[in-house]
Structure 1
Amino acid sequence: MGKIYVNNMMFYGYHGVLPQETALGQRFNVDLVVEVDTKQAGETDNLTYSVSYADMYATCKRIVEGEPYKLIEAVAERIASELLAEYALIDVCHVKVIKPDPPIPGHYHSVAVEITRSRQ
């Protein structure tokens, strides 16, 4: 097995519980790690035996910039379930959704949710 990392993808979405989050929107970052059998791709240098970074990015972009959710847990869940459904080569999917500027008084750092989902 191998791992493919797609780190620090940045998007603009309208997810949140508070009215200003869904009205104004905000930045979201996504880190993605997928576990794939990379042996054949490495031996053949053929993308057919791996998963395209660009395609995974496009899936994450469509979800984060699409339908608004109240919770970033739901955003992460949707990303994981769609990646597992779209790419048969992915065995395990780790998704971290980061909200860099949460509207918490006196809080000037990020919050995040990280999940792991697999085919089993």
Structure 2
Amino acid sequence: MADAFTGDRIILKDLGFYGYHGLMSEEKALGQRFFVDLECGVDLSQAGYTDTISNTVSYAGIYDVVKEAFDGRRMHLIEAVAQNIVTAIFEAFQEVKWIVVRVRKPEAPIAMVRGEAAIELHRQRKS
């Protein structure tokens, strides 16, 4: 069986947001920066042949859905933030067959000098 996460994709990287997601009271009160990387599996062949926006999914539209999903509800876990983004994209864009989303938290409340904490979800649309 072929890997489900292959083929054409729309990619959005380093989307920066300020949010109040987290378990610690400081995170909830002060907030922090988050970064989202996203790959959406979409057949882009017709868009490539026709040069017509109606034959693709607008990355601006994807961004709007990601922003709304990120800002819509405060979550304890970045895993839940990512799942909220996946669910919203699948609801908004029937053409998206799979999603890889990474949520990065560069100021995670751990004693690190450099780096970031992150999670990555791989999800396929259920038939």
TM-score range, shorter chain: over 0.9
Q: TM-score, normalised by structure 1?
A: 0.94
Mapping 1:17-36, distance limit 5 Å: 17-36=23-42
Equivalent position of 1:115 in the other structure? 121
1:14 Cα deviation after fit: 0.3
1:108 Cα deviation after fit: 3.3
1:23 Cα deviation after fit: 0.4
- Whether the 8 Å CA contact 1:13–1:66 is kept in 2: the answer is no
Q: Write out the 4+ residue segments of structure 1 that deviate beyond 3 Å after TM superposition.
A: none
Map Cα deviations across residues 37-66 of structure 1 (whole Å, 9 max, x no partner).
111111111111211111111111112223
Does the residue aligned with 1:31 lie in a helix, a strand or coil? strand
Identity of aligned residues (%): 40
Higher-strand-fraction structure: 1
- Whether the 8 Å CA contact 1:35–1:92 is kept in 2: the answer is yes
- Please list every run of 5 or more consecutive structure 1 residues that lacks an aligned counterpart in the other structure: none
- Please list every run of 5 or more consecutive structure 2 residues that lacks an aligned counterpart in the other structure: 1-6
Q: Kindly report the root-mean-square deviation, in angstroms, between the aligned alpha carbons of the 2 structures.
A: 1.1
In structure 2, how many angstroms separate the alpha carbons of the residues matched to 1:75 and 1:55?
A: 19
Equivalent position of 2:60 in the other structure? 54
Equivalent position of 1:66 in the other structure? 72
Map Cα deviations across residues 49-105 of structure 1 (whole Å, 9 max, x no partner).
211111111111112223110000000001011101110110001110000111112
- Call closer, same or farther: CA 1:52–1:7 in 2, change over 3 Å: same
Matched, 1:91 2:97: yes
